[in-house]
Structure 1
Amino acid sequence: MESEAFDAVDLGLLHALQVDGRAPFSRIARVLSVSDRTVARRFARLAATGAVRVTGVTDSGRIGGAEWVVRLRVRPHRADELAHALAARPDTAWVTVLSSGAEIVCVFRTAAAESAPLSALARHSDILGVDAQRMVRHLTRRRWSGRTSALDDDQVAALRPAQPVASAPVALGDLDRRMLPRLAADGRIGYPNLAGALGWSESAVRRRLDELRRARVLGFDVEVDAALLGYSFQCVLWLTVAPHHLATVGAALIESPEIAFAGAITGPHNIIAVAVCRDADAVFDYVVDRVGALPGVTRLDTAAVTRYAKRAAPALIPR
């Protein structure tokens, strides 16, 4: 699919789904001033080509879990195979191969009292080194602007779902443990199909999904290849920041339109971020002129992303 295939309706649809991944097509159609059929047809086309995917994303912290950022130094000729295997694991949430081909970065989700499976990884003959750091806090609370710039404030307000409510961490039940993986694979699966697959009533499934959303356990994200939107260069940034500057640097990063994700982690690099830019020149300008100039940044390492094997949802493993 070529980037020019994304017209104003497509971009509006992407933005709408990022506001509410389960918004009915009829509501999106009203906001975009097009027909229901047009919205449904556009989404079906984008989904069929693999250009767009709506995924259900679970907040580990809200269910008493933890996230670990794991850097694997690997044999370059085995990187793709290893990334594929990591993406197939149910405990990984993000897997990417970096430009050297000798490094894979992934995020493991575990119970709070557990760590990433370092021993098993270190024993693998093609993994030459392992480093794991705990994700302390997600800094990014907004969506990457490259896919959320098509709608105005009134349109966003018309789409925004009910606001979440503060609550204690949520204990998951059997229905949740069966439902969440299916929503991760297809965030827009219809209630009748979801209920049928789970063996629960549609009303129970609908009610529990709404409860999980309002408790901030479940959110929805839109996976889209940034290159199709004209952004051809993505890279991971590892920052070492003086502790008393962490809040300031974090705030500056999350306000940058280039940043798709930023998080505070343990270890010598205490911030990880993902930057999405139009080309290599734009990355250079952003890193040198803006990030490198932030007070408190004492070290900045970058690595271009070669490919994503997994973002947040289960990988689409070829059969």
Structure 2
Amino acid sequence: MMETMDTEQELDLLDRQLVQALRLDGRASFSRLATVLGVTDQTVIRRYRRLRGGGLLRVIGLPEAHRVGLHETRLRIQCALGAAVPIADALARRADSAWVKIYSSGTEVGCLIRSHSRDERDALLLQKLPRTQHVTAITSHDLLHGYSRNPGRRWGAEVLDEGQVRALERPQATDGDRVRLDDADRAMLALLARDGRAGYPDLARAAGRSESTVRRRLDHLRESGVLYFDVEIMPVHFGCETEASLSATVAPSDLAEVGHALAGHPEVAWAAATTGTSNLAATVLCRDNKALYAYVTERLGALKAVRQLEVVPVLRAVKRAGLLTDGTRLFDPPAGG
């Protein structure tokens, strides 16, 4: 049985080192991780199992949406008083929702939908949500471009020295053409979305292919930038108790520069260009409201191309990284009803 962990327990230095190491290479072997961290294999395995079993850490393998034909749409849904929680829960149960959050007003739900086709997206926007009781308004924006960032440089996680980082980091793959996935690919990706460290025997069984074939395919998808690995961890255990959603308006000529600058900030967990008047969206994680104020006024304030900014605190994150504890899978068809 896996060890469990008190959700109020703070991560120690080795825990933090392991988190950063896994962000740099989510599928690095335990022996390689142990060598880089200067501990034994069994120590790394124990730490990983304790964090994973306690629900504090999860390595996930996710595709670059535009490379596999997924349409990403950011929704802001206004709800009647008292309706946000059930509406957020219903959205979180959908296989096509990547994340779902309730904002601080308690009457607004934000979510990111990844649809297999525009018809699937339109069915949600034009049929399902408008007919949902207590939904009073919907704002929808398509994601145009996601801004990449160094996975090992993130809020509170920079605890490895440069030599350790170099030993683990992988070259950044350049963007490429759309890749057509077959059923075996989808089965493999569905498993990796739940457990990015799933073994090759499990991946082979899911895909109905040999282990060698699955290994080659996974390596190809990863090296070509179609598949990436990240670590989902509760921000509070890195001392980040304040989460906020940002919507900014930037001149089109400055959008790429500002987006890449934002993605380079340790406080930013996610950043993307979107359609709409507010054409840049981001998620920010800070220690507290004072730190959020400092981030907005100092680091964001230094980006003179930002013309307008909306900062909306997150009251509750209902779903993160496309996953729920019931095993919802990104590549399952959207839930009906």
TM beyond 0.5: yes
Q: Counterpart in 2 of 1:168? A: 177
Q: Please state whether the residue corresponding to 1:145 is helix, strand or coil.
A: coil
Q: Which among 96, 102, 109 is matched to residue 97 of structure 1? A: 102
Moved over 6 A (4+): none
Percent identical residues: 41
The answer to whether 1:152 aligns with 2:161 is yes
Question: Hey, what's the Cα distance between the residues in 2 that align with 1:250 and 1:161?
Answer: 22
CA pair 161-290 structure 1, distance change in 2 beyond 3 A: closer
Matched residue, 2:27: 22
Alignment match, 2:296 = 287
Who is 2:88 aligned against? 83
Pick which of 78-87 and 224-233 moved more. 78-87
The worse-fitting range, judged by mean Cα deviation, of 56-65 and 199-208 is 199-208
Instruction: Give the secondary-structure state (helix, strand or coil) at the position aligned to 2:165.
Output: helix
The two structures, once aligned, show a CA RMSD in angstroms of 2.2
Q: 3-12 or 225-234, which moves further after superposition?
A: 3-12
Partner of 1:307, secondary structure, is: strand
2:321 to 305, 312, 315: 312
Does the 8 Å CA contact 2:59/2:230 hold for their aligned counterparts?
A: yes
Q: Paired residue for 2:48, among 38, 43, 62?
A: 43
Maintained 8 Å contact 1:51/1:225 = yes
Q: Deviations over 1:266-292 (max 9, x none)?
A: 101111111111111111122133424
Amino acid across the alignment from 1:127: V
1:81 and 1:256 map into 2 onto residues whose CA distance is: 34
Aligned residue for 1:42, secondary structure, equals helix
Q: List gaps (5 residues or longer) in structure 2.
A: 1-5, 329-337
Equivalent pair of 1:21/1:222 in contact (CA under 8 Å): yes
Matches within 5 A, 1:1-319: 1=6, 5-111=10-116, 113-114=118-119, 115-116=121-122, 117-119=124-126, 120-143=128-151, 145-161=154-170, 164=173, 167-292=176-301, 294-317=303-326
CA–CA distance in structure 2, aligned partners of residues 248 and 208 of structure 1: 34
Residues 12 and 155 of structure 1, relative CA distance in 2, 3 Å threshold: same
Residue aligning to 2:335: none
Deviations 1:153-197 (A, max 9, x none): 221222234664664321001101111111101111111123234
Whether contact under 8 Å (2:97, 2:322) holds in the other structure is no
Distance 1:155 1:110 in 2: 38
Residue number in structure 1 paired with 2:333? none
1:26 & 1:86 partners in 2: Cα distance? 40
2:194–2:327: 8 Å Cα contact kept in structure 1? Answer: no
Secondary structure of the structure 2 residue equivalent to 1:146:
coil
Q: TM-score, normalised by structure 1?
A: 0.92
Report the Cα distance in structure 2 between the residues aligned to 1:236 and 1:3, rounded to whole angstroms.
24
TM-score by length of 2: 0.88
CA shift digits 1:189-230 (9 cap, x unpaired) = 111123234433222222221121112111111011111111
Distance 1:306 1:140, change over 3 A: farther
Q: Structure 1 unaligned segments of length 5 or more: list them.
A: none
